[in-house]
Chain A
Amino acid sequence: MSTATTHDAHHEEHPGGLLRWVFTTNHKDIGTLYLLFSLLMFMVGGAMAMIIRAELFQPGLQFVEPQFFNSMTTMHALIMIFGAVMPGFVGLANWLVPMMIGAPDMALPRMNNWSFWILPFAFAMLLSTLFMEGGAPASGWTMYPPLVLQTGDAFPFLIFSVHLMGISSIMGAINIVVTIVNMRAPGMNLMKMPLFVWTWLITAYLLIAVMPVLAGSVTMLLTDRFFETSFFNAAGGGDPVMFQHIFWFFGHPEVYIMILPAFGIVSQIIPTFARKPLFGYSSMVYATASIAFLSFIVWAHHMFTVGMPLTGELFFMYATMLIAVPTGVKVFNWVSTMWKGSMTFETPMLFAIGFVVLFTIGGFSGLMLAITPVDFQYHDTYFVVAHFHYVLVTGAVFSIMAAAYYWMPKWTGNMYDERLGKLHFWLSTIFVNVLFFPQHFLGLAGMPRRIPDYAVQFTEFNQISSIGGFAFGLTQLLFVYIVYKTIKGGEKATDQVWEGAHGLEWTLSSPPPYHSFTTAPEVK
């Protein structure tokens, strides 16, 4: 994407070559760095998923030992959550928030540089644990004690890399909040902001609220291991379950951190290709805020089996079920936006529609999981694995891909290859379902998650799932190629790019100038 900015580089003072990227304080450069980093981590985490699916292709142990298998599930999750999905959304925010609100750049550009450049170090450290004595962390990304305390030399590296990821996220979130609150163009009042900006504003507050909680919980693990505290050690008067409460107080809002920006993206794309304004703008904003609020009072639904008092179980069941209401409102609004529109189905729209359908399926299984008496059966089975991959892969990841196709012409000035884009969508959508749909059946039939080997009656569905997994993984190489090709060249994009596109970012040239809006636009 370097070509995007060279034409006005002569009157800017910034270094060229590699150092440009190291020292950059520009929101577009940093956005690009985040997005490319996210893509790289998506491939690394994906490679680990391929190892997992290869081992699970048939019963028995063929490729890896159980301990390494556990390392793979743990690292796959950490990398996909903190390395692929979150940086992907932060990259989109970096690129889009200033352009959408009519600002020249982010409010805190130097901190922006730092929050990105921490990440490669955090993940280099995390990945280095693969080569340490005792192997990479293998206790699941949830890091439950006492098991996590059995990690070998990797343990302090795991904790420190989680701290770094947290610091990066908090700084990124502060930057987004400050930018949105202070740098909106005249006339852009809160209820005129594009929904992507709204959802990110709320997401940023969630991040600021819960990332320190994660940092606190892993610090307590660290002191339990090295400084003889007993926060989570029952023999010393502590409570292993307390870690789970603290972790999921972070963990559940974290789930919405990974989906609220996706709601924003889809709410930008569907109106464009339906050529019709978003239905129920204000109810979308309120629904997002409600989901954010509810996310703080449902954490214990991740741990119904730990032996909570009946009243606790009832409270968390009711609160969790309530989330279906604002989420339902969102889905109904998207469908109503499409209703009586004049739709076309370019790749971003295809991914957005795929998102609405498949995310909703993930929402249904989420509602089923909320029902405590049956959650006792679903908990920690492949039913849960299927559920969260529907909301994370066909939810979060599909939305990031939709966003990439939707805004890439704006970012690069080049149209992507529509034929290849559609091919990418159809292959992804078919195979992601081949991959994850059978996992519902596996879970219901009794297959626990996080096992390297399984009873013979689970063979068929695992094989189908693995085949879908390999094909879905290969399909993503096509995505890498499409991105590469678009950066290199292609049909020139117009400023508006899409016939039905509205919003400040489409008033800029494609690619946009180095400093987005040097004079603030007037918003009517």
Chain B
Amino acid sequence: MLVAKAKQTLVAVLGGAMSMHAATVSAEYGLNLPRGVTPISRDAYDMHMLVFWVCVAIAVVVFGAMFISIVRHRKSKGVKPAQFHESTAVEIVWTIVPFLILVGMAIPATKALVAMEDTSNSDLSIKVTGYQWKWGYDYIDDGISFVSSLSTPKEQIYDQQSKGENYLLEVDNPLVVPVNKKVRLLVTANDVIHSWWVPELGMKKDAIPGFINEMWIKVEEEGTYRGQCAELCGKDHGFMPIVVVAKNDEDYGKWLMAQKTASDAEAAAAERDWSMQELMERGEKTYTTYCAACHQGNGEGVPGAFPALKGGKITTGPSSEHLNLVINGKAGTAMAAFGGQLSDVDLAAVVTYERNAWGNNTGDMVQPSEVKAAR
């Protein structure tokens, strides 16, 4: 099985290396940089191939000379060593020629870079915020915001279920953008440094707390594009994928409307009182998405790193302090301020859940209205 796979791959490697036109093979085995679907990604791909072939050409000359020398200039063939050991002319030639080749590469590289860094005249701005370990998206012009986190179940990660097609590259709420529009992304982070990267969109940009970086994408084909966080950001760095769905104008408009309706409903829900059962159900969902990565599904945490919530001092102490900690986080630790990420309902539900799950049984209920007041 493995041998067969290795053979297949070897064939693919050779195929990819020998032929510039092995695009189908490359796509199948993921050998090369994707050409992508944005002007930027195509520029990057063209530069990549240009430099690659320049390197191959130099390698053929240098390794070729070396190989000939190794074959011919052996003591075992009775060769007497020559004694030449310098030539200023030759040294000058092999300093100037590589320099000129570099200039030849620098010119298109500069052009590509200037285009990539030009974020002016965008049609739409979306703020991208990195959290440990998920992404937040704010559609600045439309007032929509949501958080996007990994939707692959834990059972698949721990080999208790077979892995799906998009294992680790699937999220609950993908970023949706219109095709053929210049979308400016304002990239920042809330806790540590992350990096937003979708290979087929051609660029990555670090998400840095306290700073806002800009990048732009113009997706030219409808479809779903997948990427991952590309800057080590702690324990679940490998588990915060990015999914971008590019829709045509009509579908994008429909999606936008649906989002607005949903966010209005959420706002209305925050006005009423919730029952214990409703809060616990909603709370468990929120807990699984936002809290379980550190504090674990069973609330027992990880000793030395993430405190236990089961029987914890905060979760069984005064509810106002508990709520306050969840909203504002704890400086100097991995405990984030969730006030900015979660709605009033979610915060009320998750605090209620933590105070009553795993035998904590405080009986306390926190209502969305209390959260609003505590903010």
Contact = CB atoms under 8 A, between A and B. Distances in A.
A371 B99 contact: no
A521 B149 CA distance: 71
- Tell which of A61, A306, A446, A457 has the most Cβ of chain B within 10 Å: A446
B18 interface: no
Interface string B289-326: 00000000000001111000000000000000000000
Given A325-B99, A341-B73, A455-B168, A374 B51 contact: yes
Interface string B79-105: 111111111001100110011001001
B229 A448 contact: yes
Interface in A10-59: 59
Contacts of A147: 192-193, 232-234
Please classify the interface of chain A as helix (H, G, I), strand (E, B), loop, or mixed, using the class held by over half of its residues.
Answer: helix
Interface in A102-143: 132-135, 138-140
A275 B81 CA distance: 6
A297 to B, nearest CB: 16
B209 A146 contact: yes
Contact of B82 (A280, A341, A374): A341
A261 B76 CA distance: 31
Contacts of B233: 147
A448 B228 contact: yes
Contact of A379 (B193, B230, B237): B230
Q: B-side binding surface: helix, strand, loop or mixed?
A: mixed
Interface string A303-337: 10111001001100110011011001101100111
Residue among B5, B32, B117 having the largest count of chain A Cβ atoms under 10 Å: B117
B87 to A, nearest CB: 8
Contacts of B226: 455
Interface string A152-173: 1100000000000000000000
A239 B210 CA distance: 8
A251 to B, nearest CB: 15
Contacts, number: 312
B33 interface: yes
A282 B214 CA distance: 47
B236 interface: yes
B370 interface: no
Interface stretch (A87-95, A352-360, A397-405): A352-360
Nearest to A457: B30
B119 to A, nearest CB: 11
B43 A274 contact: no
B72 to A, nearest CB: 9
B232 A276 contact: no
A307 B188 CA distance: 11
Interface centre among B81, B236, B305 (most CB of A within 10 A): B81
Given A306-B206, A335-B62, 4 more contacts: A341-B82, A376-B202, A455-B226, A463-B5
5 contacts: A144-B231, A275-B75, A441-B16, A463-B5, A463-B6
Interface of B: 2, 5-6, 8-9, 13, 16, 29-34, 41, 43-44, 47-48, 51-52, 55, 58-59, 62-63, 65-66, 69-70, 73-76, 79-87, 90-91, 94-95, 98-99, 102, 105-106, 109-110, 112-114, 116-117, 156-159, 163, 165-169, 187, 191-193, 195, 197, 199, 202-206, 208-211, 213-214, 226-239, 302-305, 332-334
Interface of A: 59-62, 65-67, 70, 132-135, 138-140, 144, 146-147, 149-150, 152-153, 225, 233-235, 239-241, 274-283, 303, 305-307, 310, 313-314, 317-318, 321-322, 324-325, 328-329, 331-332, 335-344, 353, 356-357, 360-361, 364, 367-368, 371-374, 376-377, 379-381, 438, 441-442, 444-446, 448-458, 460-461, 463-464
